[in-house]
Homo-oligomer: A and B are copies of this chain.
């Protein structure tokens, strides 16, 4: 389901935003159908016919709201990028030291990946379908991580100095853990996985 951020002009071309309630319903149906379709079959195996038929609207209606299949995909990537952020943000902003917050953030992320496998798949496939959107997502995600780490260094919670490489490393860890324990299978508890890795981040592998 495409929710959480509402449907607005950012999901369509400027001149394609729905003007009536009926239009909004159609657009909503298309977005939901597309998210499900792309998530299940990937971009290239998904077809516009299949998306519209899943949405229960006519084929032509697709182009009332989107310029192309790729435009829609791109919009969806942006939308879902926002959703992940919205879901994780409150948890990394809560109490405890920064690493404790990161732990909670990772737990939340793993849980989110587990319950939104399609989002995961869409964002990752963007690397090949809409590289700019992919870079935007991971670029800003890394930026946020870096900001948090630097804040923690400034507050004396972490040793520092930290730089972009730390942020990308941590993001890579999180993403692969999401793949492994969120999407591929669910044999381990998300909290436990987050604990293990958080301990490594806190103290390194050598501390006794």
| A interface list, Cβ under 8 A from B | 42-44, 99, 121, 124-125, 127-128, 135, 138, 142, 149, 157-159, 162-166, 168-177, 179-181, 184, 188, 193, 196-197, 200-208
Query: How far is it, in angstroms, between the C-alpha of A43 and the C-alpha of B164 when the chains are bound?
Result: 31
B203 in contact with A99 (CB, 8 Å): no
User: A153's closest neighbor in chain B, by CB?
Assistant: B205
Counting every copy of the chain, the complex holds 4
Query: With A196-B166, A205-B99 in contact, do A177 and B188 touch (Cβ < 8 Å)?
Result: no
Residues on the B chain within 8 Å of A165, using CB: 177, 180-181, 188, 193, 196-197
Residues on the B chain within 8 Å of A170, using CB: 173
Query: How far is it, in angstroms, between the C-alpha of A184 and the C-alpha of B136 when the chains are bound?
Result: 12
Query: How far is it, in angstroms, between the C-alpha of A43 and the C-alpha of B168 when the chains are bound?
Result: 26
